[in-house]
């Protein structure tokens, strides 16, 4: 799936992100399909594609995107951050051996009961990782 640049520009603007060349390239890469990438992977792919971009800009951009809701940052294992192009509510399978993540559509998980938030608090999000092991 390919996202038209015009769409990307609009999308970034809508989220309050100034669309620069670097940001558009990162957005194009990440938002092309639902996927999970690390900062390192993004940096490598952009450079392989002939782009001149710094590690700092990749991190700045990913953090900005996550803060603005363009993408979602996942804390999977503490080793490194994963950036998820899918910002809709959903959950994840994780292969504990490879670390690979797979999206779970929200309707694949249904909660029969969830605790009420403590007084003075409200839900800010539900993070669900189902760890998988090879049989």
Partner DNA sequence: ATATGTGCAAATCCTTTGCATAGAA
Partner DNA sequence: TTCTATGCAAAGGATTTGCACATAT
Show the site string, 54-73: x = touches DNA by CB under 7 A, - = not. xxxx-xxx-xx---------
Q: Which two tokens stand for residue 104?
A: 């779970």
Rule CB under 7 A: choose which of 8, 29, 81, 92 binds DNA. 81
Show the site string, 68-107: x = touches its own copies by CB under 8 A, - = not. -------xxxx-xx-----------x-xx-----x-x---
Residue whose CB is less far from its own copies, 24 or 129: 129
Distance CA(121)–CA(3), nearest Å, equals: 38
Show the site string, 102-121: x = touches its own copies by CB under 8 A, - = not. x-x---xxxxxxxx-xx-xx
Residues 28-57 that bind DNA (CB under 7 A): 38-40, 52-57
Distance CA(95)–CA(15), nearest Å, equals: 32
CB of 32 vs DNA, minimal distance in Å: 19
Q: Which two tokens stand for residue 6?
A: 């015009």
Q: Which residues contact 3 (CB under 8 A, 6 or more apart)?
A: 27, 28, 31, 32
The distance of Cα 18 from the centroid of its chain, to the nearest Å, equals 19
Residue whose CB is less far from its own copies, 10 or 108: 108
Contact 82, 36 (CB under 8 A): yes
- Strands 72-74 and 82-84, by their bridges, are antiparallel
Task: Give the binding site for DNA (CB under 7 A).
Answer: 18-23, 38-40, 52-57, 59-61, 63-64, 78-81
């Amino acid at each position: 799936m390919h996202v038209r640049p015009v769409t990307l520009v609009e999308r970034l603007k809508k989220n309050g992100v100034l669309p620069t060349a670097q940001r558009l390239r990162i957005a194009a890469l990440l938002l092309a399909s639902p996927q999970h990438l690390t900062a390192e992977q993004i940096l490598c792919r952009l450079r392989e594609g002939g782009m001149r971009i710094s590690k700092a800009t990749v991190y700045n951009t990913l953090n900005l995107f996550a803060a603005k809701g363009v993408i979602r940052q996942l804390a999977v294992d503490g080793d490194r951050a994963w950036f998820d192009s899918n910002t809709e509510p959903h959950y994840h399978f994780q292969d504990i051996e490879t670390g690979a993540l797979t999206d779970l559509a929200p309707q694949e998980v249904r909660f029969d009961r969830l605790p009420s938030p403590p007084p003075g608090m409200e839900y800010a999000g539900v993070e669900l990782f189902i760890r998988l092991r090879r049989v």
